[in-house]
Structure 1
Amino acid sequence: MNAPGVTVWAGIWSGGIIGPFFFRDTVTAESYLEKLRDEIVPAIKSRMNLEEIFYMHDGAPAHYAQSVRYFLHETFPDRWIGRRGPIEWPARSPDLTPTDYFLWGVIKDRVYATKPKDLQELEDAIITEMESLPEELCRRACQSVPERLQLCKDLE
């Protein structure tokens, strides 16, 4: 039997981390859309101008549901990156996204070192570790994206 778990959404930008936001149940199009509308987008708005950013997410099934894509088109017109979006993102490309090549590895290492005993301790540890990440590390992770893209392009 699998141990209880939680799905975590977090965003990274040059100014730090947005989130984390937790899903205790399976992430569906409905639950993802609700989280986007009620928590994620307001958190982004509180830190930056929505008209100046690009929203990027992976190709998880809940992320490309028609209702989610419609919301993203309305909220980030022509400025969101993802499956079936205005800007397609290559599938299985973790070397190109700061959350994959930086954030999740650092957070997992730090959180599991604390040996959380239950879901609440796990969520608390994730929050603590994300809040303690220096802004400079986030900035450097984000600044490396253009170089990573160029390296991939050079391989063509």
Structure 2
Amino acid sequence: MATPNNAPVQLSREQVRLLLFYEHRSGSSTRHAADRINNLMGADTVTHATAVRWFQKFRRGEVEFKDSPHSGRPQAVDEDELLALVKEDPRQSSRCLASKLGHSHSTINRALHDLGFSWKQPIWVPHVLSDFQRQMRANVAASLLSERRTKTWLSNLITGDEKWTLYVNYHRGRQWLKPGESGVPTPKQELHPKKVLLCIWWSVEGPVHWELLPTNTTVTADLYCKQLTRVAEKIKGKMDRVYFLHDNARPHVAKVTHQKIQELGWTTLAHPPYSPDMAPTDYHLFRSLTHFLDGKQFQNEDHLKTELQSFFDSKPREFYRKGIEQLPIRWQYIVDNNGAYYVD
């Protein structure tokens, strides 16, 4: 089997095992067998440990030189099967998928990465919508899109809402820590923290009117009507027609409020329940304000008012315009997706 000039010979596993079997039948020891094969066929053709293992098999009567089929994990991942499992439940961990498919955790991670997946936290949605609620959202969005208005009608839109604003806003962020360190502790928010209700109305130009209600005061229909009067005074002579968008809170849909809006001559836009993704104050203005307030503490109401005014003034006109001009895009998405929440 050796070449004439005793050059090393490349042998298959089966050929090496056949030579070991020959040495075993010849009565050689494992050490002598390994040395003899390496001398004849080339160094490192077979290790002593391999000779020991196969001699033990031969003594047990196992004389099969080919590799036996592996009962362990297969090497190739069935991408179609993996995709089907992910589609069935995207919340399954890679370890769970590895167990189902018979692969290692690292193999499944690589396959998911190659398919373009990444392990992320899902987006919170405000409410589990029923079929009826989804249909209502889609119908309202379709109706708002179908209205024939001028191209610049959103410039005449006034929208607003209320938000509880805390005097103490704790921030719990990540910290650089060494093993065993607990970091700077963050206290839990009190069960009944000191807070005040912010009420704001705004347009593409920015805030029209905002106010903080006295402590322990909430919005009633009568108070809301008085607030709308103040808003109307601020925009008097600035808009030839007013489109008004607010949510379905009780004071907003009360009979006296409806009468007040008619008296002002405003056109109210429909707004379905459980739909903050269709309210610019929720999905745009208050989201940014929440980030601004994170970690801030205020000694008194004047301090809070100063910081709120600073926030509103710091935002360019484009910020307010962008928030309102997203509405048609969101309406179209909701129509196209059968009333599902717009997630961004």
* Counterpart position of 1:26: 218
Decide whether aligned partners of structure 1 residues 55 and 144 sit closer, same or farther in structure 2, where only a CA change above 3 A counts.
same
The match for 1:98 among 272, 276, 280 is 280
- Trace 1:55-70 onto structure 2 (pairs within 5 A): 55-70=244-259
Letter in 1 for 2:221: A
Of 104-113 and 64-73, more deviation after overlay is shown by 104-113
What code does the residue aligned with 1:66 have?
K
Length, aligned pairs only? 146
Distance in 2 (CA, whole Å) between partners of 1:20 and 1:154 is: 35
Matching residue within 184, 194, 216 for 1:4: 194
Distance in 2 (CA, whole Å) between partners of 1:121 and 1:131 is 15
Counterpart secondary structure, 1:27: coil
Matched, 1:53 2:242: yes
Q: Secondary structure at the match of 2:194?
A: coil
One-letter code of the match for 1:18? Answer: V
Structure number with the higher helix fraction is: 1
Which residue of 1 is the match for residue 232 of structure 2?
Answer: 41
Pairing 1:66-77 to 2, within 5 Å after superposition: 66-77=255-266
CA contact (8 A) 1:8 1:23 kept: yes
The residue that corresponds to 2:144 in the other structure is none
Q: Deviations over 1:65-110 (max 9, x none)?
A: 2111100011135x113xxxxxx31111111111111100111221
- Asked whether the 8 Å contact 1:28–1:62 carries over to 2, the reply is yes
Alpha-carbon contact 2:246-2:252 (below 8 Å) kept: yes
**Partners of 1:7 and 1:23 within 8 A in 2:** yes
- Gap regions ≥5 residues in structure 2: 1-190, 339-344
- 8 A contact 1:5–1:119 mirrored in 2: no
Write the distance in 2 (CA, Å) between the matches of 1:13 and 1:123. Answer: 20
What is the aligned partner in structure 2 of residue 84 from structure 1? Answer: none
Post-superposition offset of 1:134: 0.7
Q: Return the structure number with greater relative CO, CA threshold 8 A, min gap 6.
A: 1
Q: Which amino acid aligns with 2:268?
A: W
Larger Rg: 2
Quick check: 1:29–1:63 contact (8 Å CA) kept in 2?
yes
Secondary structure of residue in 2 paired with 1:52:
coil
Deviation at 1:113, TM superposition (A): 4.0
Distance 1:147 1:30 in 2: 34
Q: Give the CA deviation at 1:114.
A: 3.4
Is contact 1:29–1:68 with CA below 8 Å preserved after alignment?
yes
- More deviation in 146-155 or 52-61? 52-61
- Alpha-carbon distance change, 113 to 44 in structure 1, aligned in 2, over 3 angstroms: farther
RMSD: 1.8
User: Mind listing any 5+ residue stretches in structure 1 that lack a counterpart?
Assistant: 82-87
TM-score by length of 1: 0.83
TM normalised by structure 2 equals: 0.40
Contact 2:199 2:210 in 1 (8 A): yes
